[in-house]
Structure 1
Amino acid sequence: MAAGRTFGFREAAMRTGGCQCGAVRYEVSAEPLALYICHCLECRKQSASAFGMSLEIPRSGLRLVAGAPKVWTREADSGRKVRCVFCPDCGSRLWHEGDDPEAGFLTVKAGSLDDPVDVSEAIHIWTARKMPGLAIPPGARSFPGEPE
């Protein structure tokens, strides 16, 4: 993703977020790398909606400030393991990370942020699996599956 895209946030702003019940809270100090709107079945099930939204950030940019989330691990279509971090009380999904702790990024579930993100520059992925009738905005970057 090109530098300077902030997805609706002021440059260098601290972002805060947390679960639905407020037991788990986090801060994001890093600038976003990308915003993905994922139309795969797993993201639809996880969000109980038409798609899931994930804000990619450097791993070092996330700080847990309250609570003790739990982790559930699943296999992605790529065969890689995905660690799904969620609140043990209300079940809200908060972020995803790979099973490699040395990986340089993770994805915050954008709906768990306190302030909304601007989806106008989102990258749509797994569009081959999108729900019938859902329109991808003209000119949006999109991929029928998972991009490289």
Structure 2
Amino acid sequence: MKITGGCHCGEITYEAELDPDKVGICHCTDCQSLSASAYHVIAMAAGETFQITKGSPRIYVKTADSGNRRRLAFCGNCSSSIYSSEDSETPPLYNIRAGTMHQKREIEPVFECWYASALPWVESTRNTRKFDGNPG
């Protein structure tokens, strides 16, 4: 599925191809903090299909408890979170923040990851696969 999107203020835009079967909800505590909400909805796109078409996001590198380093990209003007990826020049996968997609009404989460961290008042999405950590 071809998607386009961008930040709230329009300074950053992107395009990518994503597999609708790789759309999910992340309940990890990092996503809770970064989204200022209960979770992030993510849409995974293969690295070779993702392209920034306008602007240049700011990058924050987060080192997880596991030691893994993740790049978190956001707009330096409006602070919209755009994506996360592994910390490399050519990441194999981008976790695009679905709220920034123009086609967000055309996707539906099929999995929930880090479900063990889900806030107790958040109801599960119907018919999603649940993972206590990252999906397999």
Q: TM-score, normalised by structure 1?
A: 0.82
2:134 paired residue number: 146
Between 1:18-27 and 1:133-142, the stretch displaced more is: 133-142
Distance 1:54 1:82 in 2: 15
User: 2:107 pairs with 110, 118, 126, which one?
Assistant: 118
Equivalent position of 1:135 in the other structure: 123
Greater strand share, 1 or 2?
Answer: 2
Aligned counterparts of 1:55 and 1:40: Cα–Cα separation in 2: 15
Cα shift at 1:132 = 1.2
Aligned to 1:94: 82
When residues 139 and 16 of structure 1 are mapped into structure 2, their CA distance, relative to the original with a 3 A threshold, is closer
Question: Unaligned stretches of 5+ in structure 2?
Answer: none
Secondary structure of the corresponding residue to residue 43 of structure 2: strand
Q: TM-score, normalised by structure 2?
A: 0.88
Corresponding position of 1:53: 41
**2:12 equivalent to 1:31:** no
TM-superposed deviation, 1:24: 0.6
After TM superposition, give the deviation of residue 99 of structure 1 in Å.
1.2
Identity rate of aligned residues, in percent? 28
* Matched pairs, number: 134
Note the residue ranges of structure 1 that are not aligned, 5 or more in a row: 1-11
The DSSP-based 3-state class of the residue aligned with 1:31 is strand
* Structure 1 residue matching 2:84: 3-state secondary structure: strand
